[in-house]
Amino acid sequence: MADQRHDPGDAREAVRHGREPAAPAAAAEEVARAWDQLVATARRTVADGLVVGTSGNVSVRIGDTVLVTPTGVPYERLTPGDAVGVDLDGHQVLGTLRPTSELPMHLAVYRTTDARAVVHTHAPDATAVSTLVRELPLIHYMAAALGGAVRVAPYATYGTPELAENMLRALTGRSACLLQNHGTVAHGASLDQAYDRTAQLEWMCRVWLTASSVPGLTPHLLSREQVAEVGERLRGYGQHQGFTNP
């Protein structure tokens, strides 16, 4: 039986002409919205200097389908008709463009966590830190928002099962990690949350690099107990709508 491939534009056409979308079209509309959000997030990684060119990748899970950026296509060129989707086994079920070469890493996160979105970047400060330490020193209490001290996954060639395995070990009990000589991975309940965690990690890396570069001085670091205390306080922080940064 041939794969069912849904065109995200079908539901938009139904709405535009005043028709009530059928059930498959309603599902396609959800995919279309998610794809638009994914593309916007991917473009934001470029605009914010977290990736250069087509490096890095973004994905979001809709049911058992994972929408993911395609390999080798500049994000500004992506259109609603370019949606790429795979199932949790990596079989392509949507689109004709090939998915990112880092698909094994994204799928590993979805198979082992309740994540709904993953952002992978080559953020410069975070990548620099990944070459220096085995975990990001506790330079700021917002490490608690990522689950604690951020680990560095040992280097492995991009797109390989080995890299995915190394990443999963580094992510144990965490929502973000560094990839040695490579970049960052962060996941969350939404694209916004995964992106915010990515940006928070890059900021902490920049702070540590800046502080540790002052000649003759050593940055004061927090203890794991101090970070854990912040983690408890963050559970009740904000407006209970996903806000985490005090």
Rounded CA-CA distance 62/209 in Å is 37
Sign of CA dihedral 224, 230, 235, 239: negative
Is 102 an annotated catalytic residue? Answer: yes
Rounded CA-CA distance 3/10 in Å is 17
Catalytic one among 13, 20, 29, 102?
102
Residue 99 φ then ψ, to 5°: -70, 165
For residue 169, give the DSSP letter. Answer: H
CA angle at 44 for the pair 43 and 49, rounded to the nearest 5°: 105
Catalytic residues: 102
